Every structure is written in C-alpha cells, then in structure tokens.
Amino acid sequence: MRILITGGAGFLGSHLCERLLAEGHDILCLDNFFTGSKDNILSMVGNPRFELIRHDITMPIYLEVDQIYNLACPASPVHYQYNPIKTIKTNVMGAINTLGMAKRVKARILQASTSEVYGDPEVHPQHEGYWGRVNPIGIRSCYDEGKRAAECLMMDYRRQNGLDVKIARIFNTYGPRMALNDGRVVSNFIIQALSGRDITVYGNGLQTRSFCYVDDLIEGLIRLMDTPEEVSGPVNLGNPVEFTILELAEKIIAMTGSSSRILFSPLPQDDPIQRRPEISLAKRILNWQPETSMEKGMGLTIAYFRDKLS
C-alpha cells in the first residue's frame, strides 16, 4: 500500500514510517519540521519506497494514497503552547485537509488523538466512554480542544460521508528519538540525570502518568488501522502501569546512577492530577497490550540519550 504519515519526521511518526517501510509499503512522510527532525528519518532517506514531503498540513495537499495516519501536531506542552493558535489550526485544519484527501481518494484514515481529551479526569482509570473534563479556555486547550475537534471531524465525516476512520487516544509514550529539547517529563528527567543537573519535578510530584514504550504504541496503531470498517470510535492505547512523577524521578536517578537532586517547582496550570488508560477495548478488538517493561523501555531510552549527549 501507499501510506501517508503526517508528522512522519517526529518521535512517533518516524518509528511508524520505519515499521511500515519494513513491512514493504510505500511511505509518504509529510512534515513541516516544527518539532520533527531529519535525523529521525535519516535511515530511510534514499530508500526508493520512502518519499519526504516538506509541507504544512494546515494547507491543502493533493496526494494519492491508500491509508493516512494523521500525526502532525506538536505533542509536548512546551511546544504546543509556543504558538497555541498554530496548534489548534494544525489540529483542525490538519484533520479537515487529511479527511478531504481521504474522501477524494477513498483512503482509510487514522487520527492520532490523545488522553488529553479526558482533561483532568474525575473518572479513573479513563475509559473511552468518559467524556472528559477539559478547561476550554486554558493554556492546554489549544491542544485538548484541538484534538477533540479533530475527533468530532472524524466522526462527522464518517456519519455524513461514510469515511473509514479510526481514532487512537494515545497516552504518554516515551522512547528513543524524543527530541533533546522536547520538554516532556521522561526526556527532561533522563537528560537532567545524565548531565548531573537537578531533576525538575513540577508540583509535589504526586500527580500520576502511565508510560508506554514507543514500540508497543506503534504496534497498537498499526493493529487499529487494520481493524474492520465497523471499528471507528476512539480506542485507548497506552500502558496501564501508573507512576507518580516523583516515583519516575527516583527510578531514573537509580537507573542512571546519577547524583542529581530533586528540585520542586510550581505545577503548570491545568496539569492533570491522575492519568491511567483503561485498555480492555484495545485488548478485546486488537488483541493488544503493552509488552515492554518500564526497566527495559527506560534502559533503551537512557542508552539513546547517553549516546546523543556524548
């Protein structure tokens, strides 16, 4: 198949390109390089089945493809809050432009959504039927509401035009190829630990997240894309093993053998207090669950950053 991956030069996108290329598909990697990098896709450049398209997905584009993975959007709060208007445009216009393409060429489309659609949740763990508690006017809303609008567009194109759509609600994912300046917690803590700087824990560190290793997530995305047409509603993809941010800091200090100390700083506005995916739907319809332990995944990620920093 010919497969378009928007955001293909980013952290998740580059792993997805690599997996699908190895399976024998033709890959169109579209990116505007806001948070992605050429380094991430270097191993694929030159492969005749890999095409790189420098393009901003807020603008229309006409391509002929069989499948579309719409991943274009900065995912780290630091980057999506840098130009919030651009972030919501990327989510809304990006969904409209890729859906328009899917409609024109009758392609199947998968939207990368997020656990952020649940906001600061009162339901724990979060299941797909929960509508969420999102602040519509806060500093995270360009991303949260942008993704909620993208989900809405997917479902309306399905109801109105009969499109074959999939929605993956991705929970915190980590692994090699997160950018050094990404700003999300795993890369921040590893880089701080490896360079002997203070580990910046926001708030009291008792807020929780559940971390999925990138290879597991990519497997889940591909399985979701390959489900029958009847499957169209959102599916949670993430690792249900939950940690406090303080536990994560301590684990990374121990695994790196670092002498870094923990420095507490203010919790950013609207930072969710708890987050853990309920994945029984993914288990049932995709026969999927994360396989990589925190020790293994974190070990591989630490090795990646150690190499990058040296």
| Interaction site with ligand UDP (CB under 6 A) | 76-77, 172, 184-185, 188, 200-202, 207, 209, 245, 267-268, 271
Give 149-162 as a DSSP string: HHHHHHHHHHHHH-
Residues contributing to the site for ligand NAD (CB under 6 A): 6-7, 9-13, 31-36, 56-58, 71-75, 90, 112, 114, 170, 172-173
The one-character DSSP state at 130 is -
Q: Which is nearer to ligand NAD, 147 or 258 (CB)?
A: 147
- Distance of alpha carbon 2 from alpha carbon 185, whole angstroms: 35
Is 80 one of the annotated active-site residues of the chain? no
Rounded to a whole number of angstroms, the minimum distance from the CB of residue 199 to ligand UDP is 8
For residues 266 and 213, the answer to whether their CB atoms sit within 8 Å is no
Residues across the chain: 310
- Distance of alpha carbon 190 from alpha carbon 258, whole angstroms: 10
207 touches which of ligand UDP, ligand NAD, none (CB within 5 to 8 A by kind)?
A: ligand UDP
Residue from 125, 113, 75 nearest 224 by CA? 113
Q: Which of 143, 157, 174, 213 is catalytic?
A: 143
Rounded to a whole number of angstroms, the minimum distance from the CB of residue 6 to ligand NAD is 6
Rounded to a whole number of angstroms, the minimum distance from the CB of residue 121 to ligand UDP is 12
- Distance of alpha carbon 165 from alpha carbon 158, whole angstroms: 7
- Distance of alpha carbon 65 from alpha carbon 106, whole angstroms: 9
Rounded to a whole number of angstroms, the minimum distance from the CB of residue 205 to ligand UDP is 6
286 touches which of ligand UDP, ligand NAD, none (CB within 5 to 8 A by kind)?
A: none
Q: Which is nearer to ligand UDP, 203 or 233 (CB)?
A: 203
Provide the token pair at 93: 């216009």
Output the residue with the shortest Cβ distance to ligand UDP. Answer: 184
245 touches which of ligand UDP, ligand NAD, none (CB within 5 to 8 A by kind)?
A: ligand UDP
Q: Which is nearer to ligand UDP, 86 or 184 (CB)?
A: 184
Rounded to a whole number of angstroms, the minimum distance from the CB of residue 191 to ligand NAD is 16
237 touches which of ligand NAD, ligand UDP, none (CB within 5 to 8 A by kind)?
A: none
188 touches which of ligand NAD, ligand UDP, none (CB within 5 to 8 A by kind)?
A: ligand UDP
Residue type, 40: N
Q: Which residue carries 């896709």 as its tokens?
A: 41
- Distance of alpha carbon 57 from alpha carbon 99, whole angstroms: 11
58 touches which of ligand NAD, ligand UDP, none (CB within 5 to 8 A by kind)?
A: ligand NAD
- Distance of alpha carbon 266 from alpha carbon 271, whole angstroms: 11
Q: Which is nearer to ligand NAD, 188 or 260 (CB)?
A: 188
For residues 71 and 13, the answer to whether their CB atoms sit within 8 Å is yes
Note the helical H segments in the chain: 11-22, 38-41, 77-80, 84-105, 141-161, 185-194, 214-225, 245-256, 280-286, 294-309
294-309 and 245-256 helices, crossing angle to 10°: 60
Rounded to a whole number of angstroms, the minimum distance from the CB of residue 56 to ligand NAD is 4
Active site residues: 143
